[in-house]
Structure formats: C-alpha cells, structure tokens
Amino acid sequence: MASTEETKEVDDRSPFREWSERTLGQFEYLTYTALVVVLLMLGFLWPRMFITIPTGSQGVMYRYFAGGTVTERVWGEGLHVIPPWDHLTVYEVRLQQKTLKFDVLSDEGLNLQVAISVKFRPDSDMLGHLHRDIGPDYFARIIEPDIQAHVRRAFGDRPAYKIYSSANDLMAELRRISSLARDELGDGEEEKPYVQIQEIELVDLDLPEVVLAAIAERYRQEQLTLEYRHRLEREEAEAQRKRTEASGIRDYNTIIGELSPDVLRWRDLEATSELAKANNSKVLVLGGGAGSGSSLLFNVGGDSLPAAAPAAAESAASKSTAATSTASKSTATNSTASNSTAATSASTTSSAAR
C-alpha cells in the first residue's frame, strides 16, 4: 500500500515539473538567442553609430531622412554617435603631398618623362560641397588631370634644349595653376576653391639621349670659346707689358745719355764706396780711360789695416791714373812714399787672387 501511494504522488508531480523544466529551457534559449542577436547587431552597427574622427581630419554628414549631404557644417575631431542610417565621411584637411609621373611633349615633339610633386589641402569650409560635387577621390578626379594638362602646356611651348636654361621661368609658370573652384554658384555665394594647391615642384626630368648629347656638346663649345677668349686677353696683356718694359728701357737709355760726366763720376764713387765697405776679400780696379777719375780701392778683408783704407782711398782719388798703371804693371818699388801703403796692398791682393 505504501509503495502504491508514493508512485501516485510522483505521477501527480511530473506534469508540473516537466512544464517548469520546459519553460525554463525555452527562457534560456530565448535569452541566449537575444543576447547573440544583440551582440551581432552591436557588432554590425557599432562602426556605423560610433564614428571617430582622427587628428587633422574633419567629417561630412549624409542624412538619409533629412535632405542628404550637409554642406553648412562639418564635424570635428573626436568621437561622434550618429544614427545607423546616416553616414559620416572623413576627410583629411592637413597638407598632403603626392608625386605624379607622366610623359609630356616638347616643342619639337620629343617625348619627355617628368615627375611633379604636388602639395595640396582641401578647404574646410568647402568640404560639404566637395563631398557632394566630387567625392572622396577628388585628387584623381580633378587635381591630377588639371596638373597634367597644365604641365603639358608649360613644356609644349619650349624646345627641349631650352628647358634647363629657362628653369626659373618654367617653375614660375608651373606655379601659376588656376584654383579648383566651383563651377556653379548660387545667389550671394562667394567663390571659394575646393582644394588649395600650395606648391608644384619639378622633381625629375628625363631627356632623350640625343638632347643630352647636344646640350653637352654645346656646353663644351662654350667652354672652348671662353678658353680662347682668356688666351687672347692674356696675350694682349703680355704684349702691353712688353711694350711698357721697352718704353721704360728706352727712356732709361735716353736719360742716362743725357747725364753729365760729374754725375756719372759721383755715382761711380758711391758704388765703389759701398763695395769697399764689405768684409769679404775683393780686388776693385776701376777707371783706366783717358781722363777717367774713377777711384781704385782695396779691401782684403781684415782689420789689420784700419787706417790704410782711408789713406788708399784719398791716394786713389787724387792719383787714379798712377795707381791704375801701378796696379797693372805690379811694381811698388818706384812709387813715392805717400803711395807705399796702397802699392803694398795691391801687390798682396794680386798674389791672393792668383
């Protein structure tokens, strides 16, 4: 009896337990399913709702239910939360640089390869119009074609051999590119450029080999011309120097021929006196012509005859003809007593010279 009652109680409780367990299982399933769906939706909507604009950039809003692109306002740096059906496009407004490489034709039709560096930045006030009229790929759509057309015009007006000689004018013309502004303006709207072109620089230029050879040959010929011109100037200067030297020699000979005998004798005595003052050994024989008054001075290099030199100088000045004949014949015995010292010195010096 007891076992039958327990079995009956178990059968009465089983439907409730089964229902509760089934309900709990369904609740857990729904909970986990909802959590997974929320996570999936959050992962899908997060990048569309939470937009981060980095440094040096600004955003343009496109409102799906509110008129499209917003042109009156731009969104700055930082985190922005927007509805998932709207879209925020980020534009970099810092100074940017890109290099373009393409071919151009010169005035003669030669193919030249150039590399142009372009520095630009979009105008912050015109980002909305830029996004609506052109789009994020504005560089490839408007800047690159305009730059290439402008560079081709600049190179097409010049021969290839004049590009290097007119480099400054060429760079000035490259910088005169027109601003990339809106074509259609409303009433009262001020014209502003979409993009500000800061600088255009010629980075590289490849000329054909025939043009390079012609430029090198022309430069070589110019250097040869300068060399020949320098030679002519040098020879003319040398000829002028020789003419001046010849004129000086001619004037000197003319002046010397006009001097009086007294002046010449005075210069002769000065030169003889300077030579006699030297300490080295020497024999000086001056004069000898008819009427010559040149002196005869001796200095054998020693301090043993300090008083003999003045005496000899006075004797030679007063009797130069007798001293010359005495020195040439080498005789000292027949001289007078006043010339004995000079004769002795002359004989000694002549022996030393031999």
pTM over 0.85: no
Cα end-to-end distance, the chain, whole Å? 179
- Measured distance CA(289)–CA(295) in Å, rounded: 12
Q: What is the pLDDT of residue 286?
A: 56
Q: Are 85 and 65 in contact (CB under 8 A)?
A: yes
- Measured distance CA(73)–CA(84) in Å, rounded: 19
Q: Domain map of the chain by residue range? A: 2-89, 95-207, 209-258, 261-353
- Measured distance CA(203)–CA(115) in Å, rounded: 5
Q: What is the pLDDT of residue 21?
A: 78
Mean pLDDT computed over every residue of the chain: 74
What homologous superfamily is domain 95-207 in, according to CATH?
Answer: Band 7 domain (3.30.479.30)
Bridge partners (DSSP) of residue 63 are 68
Q: Tell me the pLDDT tens digit for each residue of 214-225.
A: 778 888 898 999
As a whole number, mean pLDDT of residues 197-206 equals: 86
Binned at pLDDT 50, 70 and 90, residue 203 comes out as: confident
Q: What is the pLDDT of residue 342?
A: 38
